[in-house]
Structure 1
Amino acid sequence: MLINIENLHFSYGIHEIFKELNVSINEKEQIGLVGRNGTGKSTFLKLLTGELVPDEGRISKKNNLTMSYLAQEVTVSGDTTLHEMLTSVFQNLIDMEVKIKSLGHQISETKGNEQEKLMAEYGELQEAFSENRGYEYPSRVRGILNGLGFVEDDLDKAFSVLSGGEKTRATLGQILLQEPELLLLDEPTNYLDIEALQWLEQYLKTYSGTFIIISHDRFFLDKVCTKILEVSKETIKVYNGNYTQFSHKKRLDLMEYDHQYQQQQKEVNHQKEVIKRFHQYNTEKSTKRAASREKALEKVEMLDKAEVVHKSHFSFKPRVQSGNDVLAVENLKKSFDQHLLFQNLSFEIHRGDKIGIIGPNGAGKTTLFRILQGLVSADSGEIRMGHKVHVGYFDQEHDDLKNFYNENLLEALWDIDKRLTEGELRKHLAAFLFVGDEVFKPIGSLSGGEKARLLLARLMISQSNFLLMDEPTNHIDMDTKDILETALSSYEGTLLFISHDRYFINRIANKIYVFTPDGVEVHLGNYDDYLRHKSEAEERETLTANENRVVVTKTQQKTDRKKLKEEEARLRNLKREVKEIEEAILSQELNIAMIEQKMCHPDFYNDLDNASLVNCDYEDNKLKLAELTDQWEEALMLLETL
């Protein structure tokens, strides 16, 4: 065991974060720390490091435990170069290396006993250097640099001139090189492109120590974690498995808790009715019996009301429908300070497309968005917007809301469309989980996730029918991601988005555009489909040296347009069918669970006629579930052949 926490209490003023917390961290555990924003995830890591001290309770640590912490706020001396920052981890090895060279020089200039003494020291030092992997550290630094997306020219850059994302990656690299027994990482994936994410996944899978990672990247958590700690309601609950397994178990736990709560409420109400009748009898005996039951009821440990999970069910259709041809980009080129971002950039976007753009950091993805909005000029090339196309921009920094910080949510929507009534605005806000008096909250008081939901709500009632979204899932919690994904899944306009969130890409995209130095690759389907296409292409390359992934040109697009559209429509329809079947299966499973709850009731068989009808209904539902499952498996098999 590395860390054991017993009966921990911690508060910020009157706001209690943890209460009677008990949890253990063991050796070689791969842990994901999840929970809504503001529940105390970062606070928990700071308690482990000692940066924060608990109000009560005890944190016991293994003797001489080595620990490294990547915080969201990076603090490093501005004059330190990237090379100095990374190699400082190995300062003891560097000192040993200097000493070994010095001893070698001294040995060559001495004789006799003095030389033998120096040679003995030289041998011991060289052995210690080897045992501490001294010969490996330069290659370890290079491996970390390459894995996190740095190049050799970056080594001499001062930390102060690095971008925010580069500073986070540099600090992450320094921490990984330390290889502590316990690695604490707070949102390490926010500034990594997909290649760096994949590299980090592989690194962590083989990590010899324990790590605890805060991340909203569900794909990443699925890949690297074997245990999930959920921070909720002033405590931490432990789930074995990855994020997907945690989500399933949590859903079952909530259903079970809700059942227990309902049963307790039913029993409490029954006891209150009995007590009420005893009081109405108004006899000495009945009064005593009422008092006895009241005492027993007071001793019952009451369950809190089950957590209500709001789900958004809505379909958005843009107020103005664009023409079929939304955007055409031809031979676009852009450079900054003689640094080429991209060239030969050509593609077409049609109404209803939901396109995810991926590619390495620095490939010019955000610059393309700025060009499309008219904020930056291209060096050459042509951009043609289609008929009745209205562009909307989802900004992860929420700049669009800065002029409304003193206004409330209703006013922020009225600014977009003053024809809507308060009732219509409330209904619209409720779809984004703003209910009751929340609509009167000042925008300046909203959390990052709430601002993201409000920004999306504004876009959805605007005239926008072509949305540009730059990293829309950064810095928002899982609940807000679910709202965002539900809204975009049902959005009937056109969507072009940049994202490194592979789970999000998987759920939303029907095409993937991969930025390369010489253009853009077009892949039909979501991220899983892209990976399959990529794997198949790599397999073909081993068989045919000249075969490679094809950069789609304008000529090829025209030639293959009909075939591409037919395949795209077939894939889209089949995926819609799979989704509909999955929703029907979920509904059927819920029906069966509800019937099973009825059948488990102690009084169920008191009414045999009703019990017989319920049993027949139960068998019918199970038969329907089996039929739906068969349909789902057939549809999946067909999907795999495409």
Structure 2
Amino acid sequence: MSLISVNNLTFAYDGSYDNIFENVSFQIDTNWKLGFTGRNGRGKTTFLNLLLGKYEYSGQISSKVHFDYFPFEVADQSVTTIEVVEQVVPAYEYWRLAKELNELAVSEEVLYRPFGTLSSGERTKVLLAALFLKENNFLLIDEPTNHLDQHARQIVSDYLQRKKGFILVSHDRTFLDACIDHILSINKTNIEIQKGNFSTWYYNKQLQDSFETAENEKLVKNIKAMESAARRTARWSDTIEKRKSRNSDRDAGVKPDKGHIGAQAAKMMKRSLAVQKRKQDAIEEKSKLLKNIERADSLKIHPLSFHTDPLITFEDVSVRYGETPVFGNLTFDVKRGERIALQGRNGCGKSSVVKLICGFDVPFDGTMRIGSGLKISYVPQGTSGLSGTLDDYAAARSIDATLFKAILRKLDFARIQFEKRIEDYSDGQKKKVLIAASLCEEAHLYIWDEPLNYIDVISRMQIEDLLLTYKPTMLFVEHDNAFCENVATRIRIL
């Protein structure tokens, strides 16, 4: 066991508007299975790169272990997979590699295929197996579940349960719960570490948020009461001072006791100062609350009602690319009000179904019927090609820029982000741009292809609440098990 110590870490990108980290200090035990969570753009991947020594920073990061990053970048994907393993860990023992691959349900046969021919799941598993072969390393695992189907996620989850000594960045609640024992959370104003999994951390956060909200409400009432008391005291003091200045009592002809009146005035002044002091203390205490409460304002969507039902029908549809069959004899329909989750292993053709409906050039046989005049709002799987300003993007997509930015604000975009170009956003922020644009569009059918890749957990819950509230007709591909269970009215397995 050893420690990774972070002391007074401060970092900002060159030309950035604000610091990503400021005077951050904490310690990590290298035996921990550490989950890393936080809203998009808070600096999770940046912190991993700081551990790797990629950027200059103020403060100190000290450790006796070597850091390795997943995913390992493979420049030439035409080389065999075993050559890639040799790049990752030159001095490896084959029997150990075979053992790791067996635990990940990967055939040794893949080692002798070009790396570029492997599926997303196979690449993830091979690279994890190779990286865990290293001695005295601490693995930085950055979103391994993106593009992995649910079966592959379960295998990788079971594998990581048997490992230790890693930081895992993931926004899949089920996945995190299964394979971590500590949480590192980047909050709005600090970084905290807790023992437990994501669910225990989120439960504790809800308790803390509820406590701070209740305390804040009590302090607001106390401050109002003290302000009222201060006004009454000021009025009393002012009245006494006026009595002190009189030379006589016109009715009784008796001179006032100026000493007694002065004492009363002093007493009132002392009481007023005490009230002011308590009020200031209460205000200072109030200012310590609510700083880390995450805003998750309700979102809205604008679904249209379609005139016929079903909206889409597939009858014995088959898709093949050249000589390669993707799927065959697919029969299903999409009816009004349904939220259909398309599921299946990677490569089974889920994205081909989505693209076929959206009008992409996908060769197929069989019958596909789409209702006349059907309006579709589409969120693609990838974010490549996003560039320019938010205003440029809104104009190109013919959506209201003000509404578009208001939705992004609700998805935890700071106003300062609106000044940046989209290509400078994190992957999660880029994905939110696509989702926000879709929410701006009035449509009969919303088709989202892996919408939650890179999206933080709080935002995933916001989107869940939105879909359960407005109940739009949807067809979506998503591997987040919790999201599918909560949102889907029907699951169609390819």
Q: TM-score range by the shorter chain?
A: 0.7 to 0.9
User: 1:442 Cα deviation (Å)?
Assistant: 7.0
Q: Does the CA-based 8 Å contact 1:312-1:432 persist in structure 2? A: no
In structure 2, distance between residues paired with 1:436 and 1:183: 30
In structure 2, distance between residues paired with 1:52 and 1:146: 37
In structure 2, distance between residues paired with 1:167 and 1:330: 34
Matching of residue 351 in structure 1 with residue 336 in structure 2: yes
The 3-state SS of whatever aligns with 1:360 is: coil
| TM-score (normalizing by structure 1) | 0.61
In structure 1, distance between residues paired with 2:183 and 2:219: 29
Match of 1:260 in 2: 215
Q: 2:478 aligns with which of 499, 509, 531?
A: 499
Matching of residue 216 in structure 1 with residue 171 in structure 2: yes
- Residue ranges of structure 2 left out of the alignment (5+ in a row): 239-264
Matching of residue 136 in structure 1 with residue 73 in structure 2: no
Q: Pairwise mapping of residues 67-78 of structure 1 onto structure 2 (< 5 A)?
A: 67-70=67-70, 74=73, 76=75
User: 1:493 Cα deviation (Å)?
Assistant: 4.0
Q: Pairwise mapping of residues 15-54 of structure 1 onto structure 2 (< 5 A)?
A: 15-52=18-55, 54=57
User: 1:217 Cα deviation (Å)?
Assistant: 1.0
Q: 1:364 aligns with which of 319, 344, 349?
A: 349
User: 1:467 Cα deviation (Å)?
Assistant: 2.3
Match of 1:86 in 2: 85
The 3-state SS of whatever aligns with 2:329 is: strand
> Alpha carbons of 1:467 and 1:339: their partners in 2 closer, same or farther (altered >3 Å)?
same
User: 1:474 Cα deviation (Å)?
Assistant: 0.7
> Alpha carbons of 1:297 and 1:198: their partners in 2 closer, same or farther (altered >3 Å)?
same
> Alpha carbons of 1:343 and 1:443: their partners in 2 closer, same or farther (altered >3 Å)?
farther
Match of 1:518 in 2: none
> Alpha carbons of 1:272 and 1:340: their partners in 2 closer, same or farther (altered >3 Å)?
same
> Alpha carbons of 1:142 and 1:173: their partners in 2 closer, same or farther (altered >3 Å)?
closer
Match of 1:236 in 2: 191
Q: Does the CA-based 8 Å contact 2:445-2:475 persist in structure 1? A: yes
Match of 1:8 in 2: 8
User: 1:326 Cα deviation (Å)?
Assistant: 2.5
One-letter amino acid matched to 2:218: Q
One-letter amino acid matched to 1:475: Y
Q: Does the CA-based 8 Å contact 1:66-1:181 persist in structure 2? A: yes
In structure 1, distance between residues paired with 2:393 and 2:83: 49
Q: Does the CA-based 8 Å contact 2:77-2:114 persist in structure 1? A: no
One-letter amino acid matched to 2:448: M
Which sits farther off after the overlay, 223-232 or 247-256? Answer: 223-232
Q: Does the CA-based 8 Å contact 1:10-1:55 persist in structure 2? A: yes
Match of 1:383 in 2: 368
User: 1:454 Cα deviation (Å)?
Assistant: 5.5
Higher helix proportion (structure 1 or 2): 1
One-letter amino acid matched to 1:311: D
Larger relative contact order (CA 8 Å, sep ≥ 6): 2
In structure 1, distance between residues paired with 2:428 and 2:212: 27
The 3-state SS of whatever aligns with 2:314 is: strand
Match of 1:196 in 2: 152
Match of 1:55 in 2: 58
One-letter amino acid matched to 2:98: S
In structure 2, distance between residues paired with 1:230 and 1:202: 23
Matching of residue 338 in structure 1 with residue 323 in structure 2: yes
* Residues 305-349 of structure 1, C-alpha deviations (whole Å, 9 max, x = no match): 5236343165x5633424222222222222224222222222233
The 3-state SS of whatever aligns with 2:132 is: helix
One-letter amino acid matched to 2:315: E
Number of matched residues? 458
Q: Does the CA-based 8 Å contact 1:184-1:212 persist in structure 2? A: yes
Q: Does the CA-based 8 Å contact 2:337-2:473 persist in structure 1? A: yes
Q: Does the CA-based 8 Å contact 2:97-2:129 persist in structure 1? A: no
Identity of aligned residues (%): 26
| TM-score (normalizing by structure 2) | 0.77
The 3-state SS of whatever aligns with 1:92 is: coil
The 3-state SS of whatever aligns with 1:381 is: strand
Match of 2:249 in 1: none
User: 1:436 Cα deviation (Å)?
Assistant: 12
- Residue ranges of structure 1 left out of the alignment (5+ in a row): 94-133, 516-642
Match of 2:462 in 1: 483
* Residues 114-153 of structure 1, C-alpha deviations (whole Å, 9 max, x = no match): xxxxxxxxxxxxxxxxxxxx57235236426744xx7835
Match of 1:627 in 2: none
User: 1:290 Cα deviation (Å)?
Assistant: 5.6
RMSD value over aligned CA atoms? 4.1
